[in-house]
């Protein structure tokens, strides 16, 4: 296959803090006034919008914190919300302020003045994963994409199993993955995340809730039943994996190619249609063993049956193996070239 690299011949779990439930929101992060955030964004200037969604607009801002100017993202929920919605968001802020992981965005502060709900977090110098995939030409190599996918897997693993209760993100997609100055991926805050059962519970019941997310990243079983488990996030993550190798969202792929699932897409690629499906900038970069394992992982994450989808800890281990296979192939290629 032309897009594969021509070549010769463990779980990275992170120490996970368990948040306490006794802290108040003011104890955990800075409370900004609406006036401060208006000033920091030039009165929510549309030219400063970094991304937008059905539920929020995000602006680049610059604000003084403890006497130091800091570039931040100011994420403002759209529209008017009933008290129950605002309480859900506030509860999520309290919970998220207590989460500490290198692949999860740390909140700088929040604002709940005048029936607004705004969260503030560090500005990512390299933008979002969506920004990078949309750049012409794409700026991130295959190996860097693998490293980003592993970082996101670690962040999701932490949300699902690193605290006392599972946190279901509900909106995993490239715009929700920010890249810092070292290209380390960080999963952004989702205002309508769901706090699930204790991770230690064996009988994990789905949570019935309003559908939140982006079409193309929502599993069909979630969409049809409005039931969420951590496996809903796993499907969304699989769609991100597919986009990392194809360079385009699932819905665009389906408009351009006739396939039902990832297996059919793989079959198309392996029968001479790879150049129509995969990101052209990756041609010649992907080792055969890495490709096979990566697509196996993607296919399992996007299984129609949520029980067949792996947990994120397993995904993390398998992707680290895929990266190892890629590095071994690169080293072999460099050795023979020298």
DSSP 171: -
Question: Sign (positive/negative) of CA torsion 226, 228, 232, 236?
Answer: positive
Residues 6+ apart with CB under 8 A from 174: 128, 129, 130, 133, 240, 243
Q: Is 307 a catalytic residue?
A: no
Distance CA 293, CA 296 (A): 5
CA distances from 191 to 54, 55, 278 (A): 12, 9, 33
Distance CA 231, CA 222 (A): 9
Distance CA 116, CA 92 (A): 15
Choose the catalytic residue: 45, 85, 112, 171.
171
Contact 68, 116 (CB under 8 A): no
Q: Which of 166, 40, 188 is nearest to 106 (CA)?
A: 188
Distance CA 310, CA 25 (A): 34
Contact 118, 74 (CB under 8 A): yes
Show which residues are catalytic.
171
């Amino acid at each position: 296959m032309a897009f594969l690299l021509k070549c010769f011949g463990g779980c990275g779990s992170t120490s996970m803090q368990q948040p306490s439930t006794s802290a108040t929101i003011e104890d955990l992060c800075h409370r900004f006034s609406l006036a401060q955030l208006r000033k920091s964004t030039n009165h929510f200037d549309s030219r400063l919008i970094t991304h937008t969604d059905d539920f929020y607009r995000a602006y680049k801002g610059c604000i003084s914190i403890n006497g130091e100017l800091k570039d931040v993202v100011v994420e403002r929920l759209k529209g008017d919300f009933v008290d129950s919605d605002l309480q859900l968001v506030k509860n999520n802020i309290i919970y998220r302020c207590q989460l500490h992981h290198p692949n999860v965005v740390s909140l700088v502060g929040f604002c709940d003045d005048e029936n607004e709900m705004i969260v503030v977090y560090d500005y990512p110098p390299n933008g979002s994963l969506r920004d990078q995939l949309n750049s012409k030409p794409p700026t991130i190599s295959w190996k860097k994409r693998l490293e980003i996918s592993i970082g996101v897997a670690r962040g999701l693993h932490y949300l699902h199993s690193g605290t006392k209760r599972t946190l279901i993100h509900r909106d995993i997609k490239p715009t929700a993955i920010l890249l810092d100055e070292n290209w380390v991926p960080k999963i952004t805050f989702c205002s309508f995340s769901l706090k699930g059962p204790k991770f230690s519970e064996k009988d994990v019941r789905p949570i019935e809730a309003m559908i939140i997310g982006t079409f193309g990243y929502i599993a069909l079983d979630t969409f049809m039943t409005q039931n969420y488990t951590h496996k809903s996030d796993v499907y969304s993550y699989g769609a991100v994996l597919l986009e990392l190798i194809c360079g385009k969202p699932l819905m665009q792929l389906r408009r351009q190619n006739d396939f039902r699932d990832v297996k059919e897409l793989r079959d198309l690629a392996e029968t001479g249609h790879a150049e129509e499906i995969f990101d052209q900038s990756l041609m010649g970069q992907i080792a055969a063993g890495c490709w096979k394992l990566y697509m196996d992982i993607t296919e399992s994450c996007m299984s129609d049956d949520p029980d067949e989808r792996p947990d994120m800890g397993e995904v993390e281990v398998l992707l680290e193996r895929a990266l190892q296979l890629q590095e071994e192939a690169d080293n072999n290629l460099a050795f023979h070239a020298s």
